[in-house]
């Protein structure tokens, strides 16, 4: 135990003294600070801008043209309300002049009406996000309906009441709000993905470096392989958590400072108001998921004699993880979160950290299902840990080409 | 302190590397483990240090099966290497702590050894900034700092200049005098001959020869004498076929029986101008070649 804590301390300080580790952490904190302060900064700029700009002259011009002048005027009045970003003007010119004005840049767009139920939209460059026609159609539709109802004998007030009637609706959610939980599930899955791939690689490299520098010759005769393996993996897990706490903690801090500027942003709000129980599950699955993969990476690192070999050796583990990742991401976005694949995945130890957490966050899962999943995961972590320590003990003394999987299994069994 | 290996067997897959090795090393003496490349010395050392278990046989310490929680080993592996990018002091303290030392004791021991080996100026340098010989001295500290009962040195002299080799010899002699068991593995026979009281030669997974070096040498038939003289041509013409010339110009005369030794020596010293005359004893080199030449 004493030896284990020495190894843990040594490995952890290695991470914390590592320039890349610190650099990446600081970089992420700075990026998050920039994002979190963005609304405050932009509101400063905006308030300066609006003082200068608030005259209608600077707004782009929208022309409304019709053969019937009354229609043109009535419609342009309605459009002025519907398009607050435009200066809507009824045009007296003929069609050719309207087109010329648009080409020359004097006006941005024009609606040429053939009565109330048909129009042509002229625009110089049609933007991908141009929704003017949709808005215009809606406005024209209600004008048309209004006039039809008035013509049919209703008073203008009644007609407007009918047209603006609102349906009141309430939603009572008895389970989970998938929309709200979507974001932190997404963030957790992504954080797990990033951290496991990054730190898994680091554990593998760490072991392979010790092996290739032959420091292993002394280490293996000084410390128990189980202590070495668990020390390394737990140290990397702590380093990962420290990094995550630094990054998300600073994000939370910056958010609190700028809370008023973010206003009622639902996404940001839901991220920072994660329920406590979900946060605890997140932590449990994160740590266990991290362990099970870090052990595998460590074991694989011990079988590589050169650092160059690592990338090919860790490939199967990375693939296994990525498959699990995509199963979860597809299920999340498909809308049917409780499909069979994800249910199965939520019990398989290599995918359950992501799959079970997603199910807990986005649907309703019975407590015993969670308990079974966590129990399987914990047992697997211990099992994988012990097996990796055995592989490690055999692997670190093998030099030359990386051994085949079958050879490793044989060697471990013999012990 | 007595360390015994009894009938140690070890196989890797189909290949049996050790086929029942037995040897005994005592405290206050140095033991030489010899063998050609790939004979199984490193495997034997690793089993001794519990890196992996043997398939058969046992390791005894003072007659009892060895308890690895109580017996402390210091090991200088043949494949040298520590953390290249770490500060020397930091990693030496770490290794000493892994062996069970408290931090303060470890730091004090490391400082003592750094100054003992004249390496104090490198205390806060990174290992990869040192020359190879100096790195080796640093590595030696990992084997000694925690004051182990058993010290295993695999090719300790390779790569050291004569001054450093002398320093290492002094250090090793000190450790032997403290009553520790020192196990040498080397191909440099002169060093083994100088240090080791007992040896074992491993060939084909067995100890083909083991025991007290002096005794081994005396067991060779004492029917040859070595003669150095300015008049060697005259002597060799007298003894004819029984006389061969050695590598350094000395004459080796083979007698028909060891009993003749005294009379022949008397005869030679009376008749010729003799610089040196003694009974021929084989060097360790000769013994090694004899026992390890054929790979079994």
* HEC-encoded secondary structure of chain B: CEEEEEEEEEEECCEEEEEEEEEEEECCCEEEEEECCCCCHHHHHHHHCCCCCCCEEEEEECCEECCCCCCCEEEECCCCCCCCCCEHHHHHHHHHHHCCCCHHHHHHHHHHHHHHCCCHHHCCCEHHHCCHHHHHHHHHHHHHCCCCCEEEEECCCCCCCHHHHHHHHHHHHHHHHCCCEEEEECCCHHHHHHHCCEEEEEECCEEEEEEEHHHHHHHCCCCEEEEEECCHHHHHHHHHHHEEECCCCCEEEECCCHHHHHHHHHHHHHHCCEEEEEECCCCHHHHHHHHHCCCC
What is the rounded CA–CA span in Å between residue A64 and residue A110?
Answer: 6
Cross-chain residue pair B46–A397, CB shorter than 8 Å: yes
B positions 1-20 inside 8 Å of A (CB): 13
Question: Going by C-beta distance under 8 Å and a sequence separation of 6 or more, which residues neighbour residue A28?
Answer: A243, A247
With a cut of 50, say whether residue B165 has pLDDT above it. Answer: yes
For range A157-178, the mean pLDDT: 79
**Residue B219, pLDDT score:** 83
pLDDT in tens, B42-81: 889 989 988 888 888 899 999 899 998 889 999 998 888 8
With a cut of 70, say whether residue A54 has pLDDT above it. Answer: no
What is the rounded CA–CA span in Å between residue A89 and residue A100?
Answer: 16
**Residue A186, pLDDT score:** 83
Compare CB distances from A6 to B46, B97, B142 and report the shortest one's residue: B97
Q: Contacts of residue A397 in chain B, CB cutoff 8 Å?
A: 46, 51-52
Chain B contact for A7 (CB, 8 A cutoff): yes
Cross-chain residue pair A397–B75, CB shorter than 8 Å: no
Partners of residue B60 on adjacent β-strands = B4, B65
Cross-chain residue pair A6–B94, CB shorter than 8 Å: yes
For range A40-59, the mean pLDDT: 63
pLDDT in tens, B122-145: 999 999 999 988 999 999 999 999
User: CA of A289, closest CA in chain B: separation in Å?
Assistant: 29
**pLDDT class for A53, splitting at 50, 70, 90?**
very low
Cross-chain residue pair A215–B83, CB shorter than 8 Å: yes
DSSP A59: S
**ipTM associated with this complex:** 0.79
Q: Pairing relation of β-strands A61-66 and A109-113?
A: parallel
Instruction: Identify which of A78-82, A104-108, A164-168, A353-357 has the greatest average pLDDT.
Output: A353-357
Q: Which of B97, B127, B150 to mutate to test the interface with A (most CBs of A within 10 A)?
A: B97
pLDDT in tens, B92-124: 999 999 998 999 999 999 999 999 999 999 999
Burial A343-365 (b: 16+ CB within 10 A, else e): bebbeebbbbbbbbbbbbbbeeb
For range A271-280, the mean pLDDT: 80
pLDDT in tens, A301-352: 888 877 888 888 888 888 988 888 888 888 888 777 778 888 888 899 989 9
Burial A159-187 (b: 16+ CB within 10 A, else e): beeeeeeeeeeeeeeeebeeebbbbbbbe
Compare CB distances from B82 to A218, A221, A393 and report the shortest one's residue: A218
With a cut of 80, say whether residue A81 has pLDDT above it. Answer: yes
Q: Contacts of residue A220 in chain B, CB cutoff 8 Å?
A: 51
For range A41-47, the mean pLDDT: 74
CB distance B255 to B224 below 8 Å: yes
Question: Going by C-beta distance under 8 Å and a sequence separation of 6 or more, which residues neighbour residue A65?
Answer: A72, A90, A91, A93, A95, A98, A110, A111, A112, A113
What is the rounded CA–CA span in Å between residue A232 and residue A290?
Answer: 12
Chain B contact for A221 (CB, 8 A cutoff): yes
Please name the residue ranges forming H helices in A54-131. Answer: 69-82, 95-104
**Residue A401, pLDDT score:** 62
A positions 334-393 inside 8 Å of B (CB): 393
CB distance A298 to A390 below 8 Å: no
Cross-chain residue pair A415–B53, CB shorter than 8 Å: yes
Q: Contacts of residue B95 in chain A, CB cutoff 8 Å?
A: 218, 222
Please report where in the chains the tokens 């009376």 appear, as a residue.
B270
User: CA of A385, closest CA in chain B: separation in Å?
Assistant: 19
Closest chain B residue by Cα to residue A214: B81
Distances (CA, A) of A19 to A22, A30, B74, B219: 5, 16, 33, 64
Q: Which of A217, A390, A400, A406 to mutate to test the interface with B (most CBs of B within 10 A)?
A: A217
With a cut of 90, say whether residue B11 has pLDDT above it. Answer: no
**Residue B111, pLDDT score:** 95
Compare CB distances from B81 to A2, A3, A214 and report the shortest one's residue: A214
pLDDT in tens, B172-183: 999 999 999 999
DSSP A263: T
Q: Contacts of residue B46 in chain A, CB cutoff 8 Å?
A: 221, 397
**Residue A403, pLDDT score:** 66
Cross-chain residue pair A217–B77, CB shorter than 8 Å: yes
What is the rounded CA–CA span in Å between residue B237 and residue B247?
Answer: 18
Chain B contact for A306 (CB, 8 A cutoff): no
Cross-chain residue pair A220–B51, CB shorter than 8 Å: yes
What is the rounded CA–CA span in Å between residue B139 and residue B132?
Answer: 10
Cross-chain residue pair B99–A222, CB shorter than 8 Å: yes
CB distance B94 to A10 below 8 Å: yes
- The H or E element spanning position A62 is strand A61-66
pLDDT in tens, B256-296: 888 888 888 888 888 888 888 888 888 888 888 888 877 66
Chain A contact for B239 (CB, 8 A cutoff): no
A377: closest CA among A271, A289, A262, A275? A289
User: CA of A408, closest CA in chain B: separation in Å?
Assistant: 11
| Average predicted confidence (pLDDT) for chain B | 88
CB distance A24 to A194 below 8 Å: no
* Angle at alpha carbon of residue A31, lines to A29 and A32, rounded to 5°: 65
Chain B contact for A16 (CB, 8 A cutoff): no
Chain B contact for A9 (CB, 8 A cutoff): no
Cross-chain residue pair B75–A218, CB shorter than 8 Å: yes
Chain B contact for A20 (CB, 8 A cutoff): no
With a cut of 60, say whether residue A381 has pLDDT above it. Answer: yes
Share of chain B above pLDDT 70, in %: 99
**pLDDT class for A402, splitting at 50, 70, 90?**
low
A89: closest CA among A103, A79, A99? A79
With a cut of 80, say whether residue B13 has pLDDT above it. Answer: no
A323: closest CA among A309, A298, A300, A344? A344
B43: closest CA among B17, B21, B67, B24? B17
What is the rounded CA–CA span in Å between residue B293 and residue A13?
Answer: 51
Please report where in the chains the tokens 């005396």 appear, as a residue.
B218
B156: closest CA among B127, B196, B121, B122? B196
Burial B153-185 (b: 16+ CB within 10 A, else e): bbbbbeebeeebbebbbebbeebbeeebbbbbb
What is the rounded CA–CA span in Å between residue A176 and residue A190?
Answer: 21
Residue B53 has phi, psi (to 5 degrees) of: -80, 155
**Residue A26, pLDDT score:** 92
Threshold 0.80, pTM exceeds: no
Compare CB distances from B80 to A2, A6, A214 and report the shortest one's residue: A214
């Amino acid at each position: 135990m004493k030896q284990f804590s020495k190894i843990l301390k040594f490995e952890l300080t290695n991470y914390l003294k590592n320039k890349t580790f610190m650099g990446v952490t600081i970089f992420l904190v700075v990026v998050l600070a920039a994002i979190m302060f963005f609304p405050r900064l932009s509101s400063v700029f905006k308030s300066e801008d609006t003082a200068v700009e608030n005259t209608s002259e600077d707004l782009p011009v929208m022309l409304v043209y019709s053969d019937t002048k009354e229609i043109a005027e009535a419609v342009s009045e309605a459009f002025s309300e519907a398009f607050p970003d435009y200066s809507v003007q009824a045009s007296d010119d003929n069609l050719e002049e309207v087109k010329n004005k648009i080409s020359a840049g004097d006006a941005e767009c024009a609606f040429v009406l053939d009565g109330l139920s048909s129009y042509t939209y002229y625009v110089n460059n049609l933007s991908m996000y141009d929704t003017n026609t949709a808005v215009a159609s809606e406005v024209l539709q209600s004008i048309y309906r209004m006039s039809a109802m008035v013509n049919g004998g209703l008073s203008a007030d009644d007609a407007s009441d009918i047209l603006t009637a609102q349906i009141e609706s309430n939603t009572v959610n008895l389970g989970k709000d998938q929309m709200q939980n979507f974001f932190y599930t997404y963030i957790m899955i992504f954080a797990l993905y990033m951290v496991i791939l990054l730190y898994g690689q680091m554990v593998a490299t760490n072991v392979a470096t010790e092996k290739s520098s032959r420091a292993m010759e002394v280490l293996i005769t000084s410390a128990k392989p189980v202590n070495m393996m668990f020390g390394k993996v737990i140290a990397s897990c702590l380093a990962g958590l420290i990094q995550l706490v630094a990054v998300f903690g600073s994000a939370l801090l910056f958010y609190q400072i700028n809370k008023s500027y973010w206003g009622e942003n639902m996404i940001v709000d839901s991220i920072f108001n994660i329920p406590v129980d979900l946060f605890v599950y997140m932590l449990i699955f994160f740590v266990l998921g991290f362990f099970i993969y870090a052990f595998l990476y460590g074991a694989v690192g011990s079988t590589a004699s050169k650092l160059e070999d690592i990338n090919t050796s860790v490939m199967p583990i990375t693939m296994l993880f990525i498959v699990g990742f995509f199963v979860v991401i597809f299920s999340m976005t498909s809308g049917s979160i409780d499909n069979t694949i994800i249910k199965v995945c939520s019990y398989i130890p290599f995918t359950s950290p992501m799959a079970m957490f997603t199910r807990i966050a986005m649907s309703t899962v019975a407590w015993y299902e969670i308990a079974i999943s966590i129990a399987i995961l914990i047992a697997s972590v211990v099992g994988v840990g012990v097996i990796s320590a055995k592989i490690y003990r055999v692997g670190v003394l093998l030099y030359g080409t990386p051994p085949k999987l079958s050879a490793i299994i044989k060697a471990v069994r013999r012990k | 302190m007595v360390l015994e290996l009894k009938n140690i067997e070890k196989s890797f897959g189909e290949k049996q590397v050790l086929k029942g090795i037995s040897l005994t090393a005592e405290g206050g003496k140095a033991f030489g483990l010899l063998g050609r490349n790939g004979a199984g010395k490193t495997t034997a050392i690793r089993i001794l240090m519990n890196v992996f278990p043997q398939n058969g046989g046992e390791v005894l310490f003072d007659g009892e099966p060895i308890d690895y929680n109580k017996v402390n080993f210091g090991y200088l592996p043949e494949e040298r290497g520590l953390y290249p990018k770490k500060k020397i002091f930091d990693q030496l303290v770490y290794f000493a702590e892994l062996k069970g030392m408290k931090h303060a004791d470890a730091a004090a021991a490391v400082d003592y050894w750094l100054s003992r080996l004249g390496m104090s100026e490198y205390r806060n340098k990174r290992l990869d900034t040192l020359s190879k010989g100096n790195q080796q001295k640093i590595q030696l500290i990992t084997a000694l700092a925690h004051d182990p009962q058993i010290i295993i040195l695999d090719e300790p002299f390779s790569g050291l200049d004569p001054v450093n080799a002398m320093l290492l010899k002094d250090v090793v002699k000190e450790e032997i005098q403290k009553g520790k068991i020192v196990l040498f593995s080397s191909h440099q026979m002169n060093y083994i001959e100088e240090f080791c009281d007992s040896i074992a030669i491993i060939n084909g997974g067995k100890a083909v020869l083991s025991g007290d070096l002096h005794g081994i040498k005396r067991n060779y038939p004492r029917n040859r004498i070595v003669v150095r003289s300015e008049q060697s041509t005259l002597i060799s013409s007298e003894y004819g076929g029984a006389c061969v010339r050695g590598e350094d110009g000395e004459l080796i005369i083979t007698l028909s029986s060891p009993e003749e030794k005294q009379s022949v020596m008397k005869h030679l010293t009376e008749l010729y101008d003799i610089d040196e005359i003694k009974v021929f004893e084989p060097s360790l080199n000769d013994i090694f070649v004899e026992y390890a030449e054929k790979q079994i």
